[in-house]
Amino acid sequence: MDYKHTPVLLKEAVEILALGPGDHAVDATLGGGGYSQAILDIVGVKGKVLSIDLDIHAINHFKEKINETKFKNSVVTVHGNFADIAQIVARHDFTGVKAIVADIGLSSNELDNSGRGFSFQKDEPLDMRFDVRQQTDAAFIIKEHSERDLAEIFKKYGEDKFSGKIAKHIVRARQENPIKKTFELVEIVKEALPKPVKHRFADSARRIFQALRITVNNELDSLENFLPNALDILAPGGVLAVVSFHSLEDRIVKQFFREASQGCVCPLDFPICQCGRNPRARLLMKKPVGAADAELEKNPRSKPAKLRAIQKY
């Protein structure tokens, strides 16, 4: 497989990690390997990078690539979920972690070359699994979930105002024939929309596909588990940086970072703190960093990306 991917906000994220020669870092979502390679270029052969991904193709591609370089003994690659970062780090005795980065968007390869139906613009099987070892795929959800459950999935994870109509049309269509391909689902989405907005069917299709992918891979729960575990394993002074691509992810990151950096929460009229709460980290930026114009021009997919970071006390 030709594994191509343009990492988003790479320069900004690597700079904020503030790594140096010999440091240890974790790339929690390896993807095309752009972050891991950039980190290796900084920490050098005396440093170490632990690279994690659910997609075995990403792991194998990076291992093959890195084994041909001077960094072959400086990388530990793990086929796993970044939600399990604490167990992975412990299992590999990976200590003194100075920085952790997680780019939680889809890689270009997953969209363009995986054949797993992540994009509504390609006619592929309705799969959407990052980890092909798991049983539940998008076709199973479309086939087995009730109209009510489908509507809830589309509303909660896709935030589409036509979720109910789309769910109803899916249930009606699957009674005639199984829905197994992406273009079949796109056509159903288009048919479900009111006539005045049918020409904007791509907007709803994008949101429905996002909702299915999040559900198949349990993405938001994994992110919620990852964040506290990542902060726990960082060494004092270490940096956690996350690049998100939609509002649901960014909301989770923003809330966790805010809570981690918050101190006393006692009412203002308390003369002495009673809660004893101390901040665990400090925010490294008040607002998220987005892609600059030059990056947007080269890679339009970087438009929704948001980088947030905190430094552990």
Specify the pLDDT at position 105. Answer: 84
Quick check: 48 pLDDT over 90?
yes
3-state secondary structure of 217: helix
Quick check: 64 pLDDT over 60?
yes
Specify the pLDDT at position 267. Answer: 84
Specify the pLDDT at position 4. Answer: 57
Whole-prediction pTM: 0.93
Quick check: 1 pLDDT over 70?
no
pLDDT digits (tens, 9 = 90+) for 205-235: 999 999 999 999 999 999 999 999 999 999 9
Specify the pLDDT at position 3. Answer: 53
Q: In the chain, what are the domains? A: 10-109+219-312 (3.40.50.150), 116-217 (1.10.150.170)
3-state secondary structure of 313: coil
- 9-13, 111-115, 149-153, 205-209: least confidently modelled range: 111-115
- 2-11, 163-172, 248-257: least confidently modelled range: 2-11
Do residues 94 and 50 make contact, with C-beta atoms less than 8 angstroms apart?
A: yes
Round the average pLDDT of the chain to a whole number and report it: 94
Specify the pLDDT at position 113. Answer: 74
DSSP 228-293: HHHHHHEEEEEEEEEEE-SHHHHHHHHHHHHHHT----S-TT-SS-SS----SEEES-SS-B---H
Specify the pLDDT at position 71. Answer: 98
Quick check: 54 pLDDT over 60?
yes
Tokens of 188: 């159903």
- Sheet order of strands, 234-244 included: 75-79, 48-53, 24-27, 97-103, 234-244, 306-312, 281-283
Would you give the distance in Å from CA 263 to the centre of its chain? 28
* Rounded average pLDDT over 126-145: 96
Quick check: 5 pLDDT over 70?
no
pLDDT digits (tens, 9 = 90+) for 91-111: 999 999 999 999 998 877 777
pLDDT digits (tens, 9 = 90+) for 270-295: 888 888 788 999 999 999 999 999 99
- Structure confidence at residue 265 as a pLDDT band (50, 70, 90): confident
